[in-house]
Chain A
Amino acid sequence: MIALSLFCAAFLVWAGVTVFFWKAGAWLPYYVIGSAGSAILMVVGARDFLPLEFALRASTAYAVDGLSHLTGVGTRVTWSDPGSILVVGVPHHNEWTQLRVGLESSGLLESAALAGLVAFFPNGRLLHRAMVVALGLLASFVANAIRVLLIVTSVGYLGQGTLDVAHVFVGRALFFLIACVIYWFAITRPTLRTVHCRLRGGPI
């Protein structure tokens, strides 16, 4: 109860400060506090007050489980903990690796960051921004599933020794590339379109 009260107080302070900077036309603090603050509040809310992190972990696990047959790696999601994926080691058929989809692999932080950055970016109407956020979150989820699938495939074919490299570097870099594409379509391209329309009075 205390935690929830603190969370609500933090939310109110954040909302008040963001609105103040918006009204004052101080765009940099408005955007930084609006986007970063909302991302942090979303992550805290999703982890501590709503079962969203768990839902994201579970859905990632099931999505990867459903897709893994495409790469020929057998996986199984354990019923006791749907956030865990059981990977069948292909080269040695007797090697099993249990991958736990935690905060890092759930894509929660990346999704919250994307949602905050798009929602508070001062381009377009609120409804349009909400749609872009929804599509961005969907794309983020798919990107994250592809990343975890890459890790699963790597572990499946090359063994447990490749886990760290696949997880920390290859999977992360792949996710970063996909995230950049998402940012391009969610923020940069619409910005160009808006500015072009303002300058030239017509669609790009």
Chain B
Amino acid sequence: MTGSWYMQFGFWGVFLLIPILIDGTVAFTYLVSVILGRQKRLPIRPVTRAPNGKWPRVTILVPVYNSANDLAVCVESIKRQSYPADLIEILAIDNGSRDRSFAVFCEQQQAGYAGSIHWLSTFHQGKPWALNIGIHYAIGEYIINLDSDVTMHPDAVANMVAAFEHDPNMVAATGSVEIEPAREAGGFMRIVHECEFQEYYFAFNVGRRFQSESRSLFTLAGAFSAFRREVLFATHLYDTSTVGEDTFMTFDIQESFPGRKVSVVTSAVCYTEPIPGLRALYAQRVRWQRGEIEVIAAHPVLAGRGLFYRGFSPMRTLVVDHTLAFPRVAWTFLLPALAFMGYNWITVVAAMALLYAAYMVVEAATWTTNALLVVLPSSHRLWRGWWVIPIMPAYRYMVFWMRFAGTLTVLTEPTKWRTADPVSASRAGLLKVVDRVLVHEPAERPARAA
């Protein structure tokens, strides 16, 4: 029915163009909103006076698992907080470490601190177990969860608590997680780290801000989130059956406190190391994807809310992250296959190039929104990182495949934090085949006969 090459491209490209349109609509909506002033730049300013006249007590929970390398830096960043130290309680909760974590903690404890600092242990391995124990021991009016491999901006706790004190309707909030510059990485991993930085910055400072506004915040970051104490006790605490305990908690709060605010406090910033390698990135994204599916499946009432539900509707996220992934997978391979079915190679290649260009336009909009909202101390890095715009579509595409693997492993593998990447699994499978065919079978047969 179609003759001209652009019509053919339009026809076959629709299956890939529509996801771009969805991404593009979101990106440009955010950009236009920022340009129109609906979201403003919010500088990180030290809060010097307690909003209600008196600062409340805060408990910071730090789950520890083989954290000897990171724990000291994390605890030191808590000690450097501008928040009154005598109102901070640090609970480091070990869940099965086999390294020097306890020794590192002891050094920190003995180094002197005006606040209180305690060590708890549980035999149950797993972050949710550690957090649940910490919640029971916490005495603060606000409870903050902090991963042991992150460091906090000196004003993070003060800004977080101030946000709660100013807004009695706010029940829980996530801080903003940023990627630190890599210390030693070069070449390909440096590019990945810059993409990761841009991705995180957008996710926390733009995406979650708009989600908060529409009362649909999907995940309170496990790395740095804060809760009113009574809110945590009104939930089922952290769930241990899924790998998405932070998303699970967010869902529980969204379900238990309809109409209350679950938000992001962009002036409460913490910093985390960039991902060390592609294998770690794969494991992380697989875990995120399977966590998302598991948590949605565990909340059938929320999952049953329609696409056009005003407010928190996980179905929207699921359609984009799960349902739309399948046509994208199919057409990634069928589009080039058209060249073998009588279509012009040039048309097919041009179609793919145009699709990439369309994604670059979306990324340019995303970067511009970031650049309009970015504040010190991250602004220089973000602005200098403009060169990742043409690379971001490739990075997101790589991440898409990693997340897609999570869509499969949620069904094929039991719930666990670590998963074998396809290269390692294939290599192990190949070795098994070689082992069976070349080594063991000829040797075993005579032995059996004997």
* A contact residues vs B (CB 8 Å cutoff): 20-21, 23-29, 31-32, 35-36, 39-40, 43, 47, 99-105, 109, 113-114, 116-117, 121-123, 151, 163-164, 167-169, 172-173, 176, 179-180, 183-184, 187-188, 191-196, 199-200, 204
Contact = CB atoms under 8 A, between A and B. Distances in A.
Contacts of B280: none
Contact of A26 (B10, B12, B333, B426): B426
B7 interface: yes
Nearest to B342: A103
A171 to B, nearest CB: 9
Interface of B: 1-2, 7, 10-12, 14-15, 18, 241-242, 293-294, 296-298, 300, 303, 318-319, 322-324, 326-327, 329-334, 337, 341, 401, 404-405, 407-413, 420, 422, 425-426, 428-430, 432-433
Given A24-B428, A188-B322, A191-B322, A40 B293 contact: no
A173 B242 contact: no
Contacts of A187: 322-323, 326
7 contacts: A26-B429, A27-B412, A28-B422, A168-B7, A172-B14, A176-B327, A204-B300
B263 to A, nearest CB: 27
A47 B341 contact: yes
Contact of B2 (A32, A116, A167): A167
Contacts of B428: 24
Contact of A192 (B7, B297, B333): B297
A180 B427 CA distance: 35
Contacts of A191: 293, 297, 322, 407, 410-411
Contacts of A103: 341
B334 A195 contact: no
A36 B426 contact: no
B376 to A, nearest CB: 41
A25 to B, nearest CB: 5
Contact of A173 (B18, B303, B326, B407): B18
Contacts of A199: 241-242, 294, 297-298
B408 A21 contact: no
Given A20-B429, A168-B2, A25 B412 contact: yes
Given A25-B429, A187-B322, 5 more contacts: A24-B425, A27-B412, A31-B329, A35-B330, A40-B334
A82 B324 CA distance: 34
A97 to B, nearest CB: 11
Nearest to B429: A24
B298 A39 contact: no
A179 B422 contact: no
A19 B432 CA distance: 14
B293 A195 contact: yes
Residue picked from A104, A109, A168, A173, most chain B C-beta under 10 Å: A168
B14 A176 contact: yes
A86 to B, nearest CB: 14
A195 B297 contact: yes
Given A103-B341, A123-B411, A40 B333 contact: yes
B1 A105 contact: yes
Given A164-B2, A195-B293, A21 B327 contact: no
A173 B231 CA distance: 44
Nearest to B12: A104
A32 B323 contact: no
B322 to A, nearest CB: 5
Nearest to A30: B408
Nearest to B239: A199
A20 to B, nearest CB: 6
Contacts of B412: 25, 27, 122
A125 to B, nearest CB: 13
Contact of A179 (B327, B401, B429, B433): B327
Given A29-B422, A39-B333, A113-B330, A23 B18 contact: no
Nearest to B330: A113
A176 B334 contact: no
B321 to A, nearest CB: 10
B426 A183 contact: no
Given A25-B429, A104-B2, A184 B11 contact: no
A14 B408 CA distance: 20
Contacts of B11: 104, 167-168, 172
Interchain residue pairs A-B with the least CB separation, the first 3: A24-B429, A36-B333, A113-B330
A183 B323 contact: yes
A114 B326 CA distance: 9
Given A24-B425, A187-B326, A36 B334 contact: yes
A164 B2 CA distance: 7
A21 B412 CA distance: 13
Contacts of B7: 164, 167-168
Given A36-B334, A99-B1, A105-B1, A31 B429 contact: no
